[in-house]
A and B are shown apart, each in its own frame.
Chain A
Amino acid sequence: MSAKVDERVETPGDVPLEPSARSLEPSPSFVPRLAKKARLRHDRHSGGWMIIYPERGLTLNESAAEIVKRCDGTRTVAQIAAEIVRAIDGQEVDPAQVERDVVELVGELARKGLLER
């Protein structure tokens, strides 16, 4: 399982500057909530989920969408990971890997300013 997102709708011409690496890495007890400027939207054209925010959009793969749906300010990173492990019960999953995926995605959302501060 991998929780990668693709940036699909970019502002033309922005010069990407070096992000300050891992400064926004969330801890397992961090409670993520999607920022007000970001809207999670089911995309009837692709059947998947997207996050739409000013001048941009992210298309989420299935596992990323499961994580983002739970970024509602009521669950910790560890709880989100545990819920996802339960949800994919029956398949072989490594709970530690799932938590690493959640940490990575939540960190990426934070770096993009898509989580409430």
Chain B
Amino acid sequence: MTAQAEIGAAPRPYTLIAELTYRCPLRCPYCSNPTNLAAHDGELSTEEWSRVLGEAEALGVVQVHFTGGEPLARKDLEPLVSRARELGLYTNLVTSGVPLTKERLAGLVERGIDHVQVSIQSARPERADAIAGYSAHPHKIEVMRWVTELGIPLTMNVVLHRENLDEIDELVALAEDVGASRLELANTQYVAWALKNRDALLPTKEQLDRAAVTAARHKARLQGKMDVLFVKPDYFGTTPKACMDGWARRFVHIIPDGRVLPCHAATSIPQLTFDSVKERSLADIWTSSKALLAYRGEAWMPEPCKSCDRRNVDFGGCRCQAFALTGDASATDPACQLSPHHRLIEEARLRAAQPDVPRRWVYRGR
């Protein structure tokens, strides 16, 4: 589909990210949930989510991620999984594993869960619990084994930062040991809680380069057996990420209270008012919500994006990061070396590289 064809009609979303709840037992200091959690309540009901799943499929969605927070905190996850599978959606569960029992997992498998992702904070138990702010590591390992024993494809997710970036070999060994078919090693994105903790989380350039080489070696070794992804942090690059593959383009993101976002972090941009599936249909919101139209396509782009050869590649980068760092959500992502604000990224990197910078974590609230 060309950009031209998308001007009149909304693009087709392929993936629904369903954040069922912001409740979570873990308190990871890089949590992607909003930093003002107390201001979010009024979760969608089972009936509302069921309706929305149908509306998403009708829009073209083929894959759904049940996530959060901790999606298992919702007692109605089971009927929602059944509903998603009735619709033929490829159904992912993204979980901390913490509240899961083997019986509940077996029940979810029976209802047709296609794939389970379990987050691991570190390969080392004590460090893992220190990062999560909660003692859960041994149980998480057990949960991963149950998933593979039940024959369900497993992704082990790890958010990488200064404290665990030197563990690539151990993390890969753990993923192989529990039988994961996919290992996602994703460096922290510095929005939401992670931005508050940036000095404590930003790695050194040397750490990052070493980790990237190690991950590449394992990726080649495990090709065809385990899919190893290594997602570099944009703070060390020269071009921004193609954040969400473009604003409200391929992904539709619904937060616990029913508002429809282009990504998990967009409520951090106060100028945007997001529409809720409690009031309008998903199709109506996807095609005409002012907040989704705000940065869809290219019309909003300033220079240097507007005339850039990469504008169809990285879509101007991350709007939330642009807002968080410059106060202007329509600015070029400062991660781009062509951004007039790129020095903000360089300064943050230099600051975090100083040995005496304070590195105390602010844990995510509840």
Contacts and interface: CB of A to CB of B under 8 A. Distances in A.
A3 to B, nearest CB: 19
Contacts of B229: 11, 14
A23 B14 CA distance: 32
A36 to B, nearest CB: 6
Interface in B201-258: 212, 215-216, 219-220, 223-227, 229-232, 234, 241-245, 250
Contacts of B321: none
Given A12-B241, A15-B231, A37-B181, A24 B223 contact: yes
Contact of A113 (B115, B224, B242): B224
Interface in B13-47: 14-15
Contact of B243 (A12, A36, A112): A12
B79 interface: no
B156 to A, nearest CB: 12
A24 B15 contact: no
Given A12-B245, A37-B114, A18 B220 contact: yes
A57 B62 CA distance: 9
Contact of A57 (B14, B153, B155, B181): B14
B150 to A, nearest CB: 11
The prevalent SS among residues of A at the interface is loop
B246 to A, nearest CB: 9
B231 A54 contact: no
Interface residues of B, number: 40
B223 A10 contact: no
B327 interface: no
B114 A39 contact: yes
- With most chain B CB atoms within 10 A of its CB, the pick from A17, A35, A110, A115 is A17
B62 A17 contact: no
A15 B232 contact: yes
- With most chain A CB atoms within 10 A of its CB, the pick from B63, B114, B234, B242 is B63
B138 interface: no
A17 B212 CA distance: 10
Given A8-B14, A10-B245, A54-B153, A24 B62 contact: no
A12 B242 contact: yes
A34 to B, nearest CB: 12
A13 B242 contact: yes
A9 B252 CA distance: 13
Interface in A38-63: 39, 41, 43, 45, 50, 52-55, 57
Given A13-B242, A17-B215, A54-B155, 8 more contacts: A15-B212, A17-B220, A17-B230, A19-B220, A52-B63, A113-B181, A113-B182, A117-B225
26 contacts: A9-B14, A9-B62, A9-B63, A13-B186, A13-B241, A13-B242, A13-B243, A14-B229, A15-B230, A19-B220, A20-B223, A24-B224, A36-B153, A37-B115, A39-B90, A41-B62, A41-B90, A50-B62, A54-B117, A55-B15, A57-B14, A57-B63, A110-B224, A113-B181, A113-B223, A117-B225
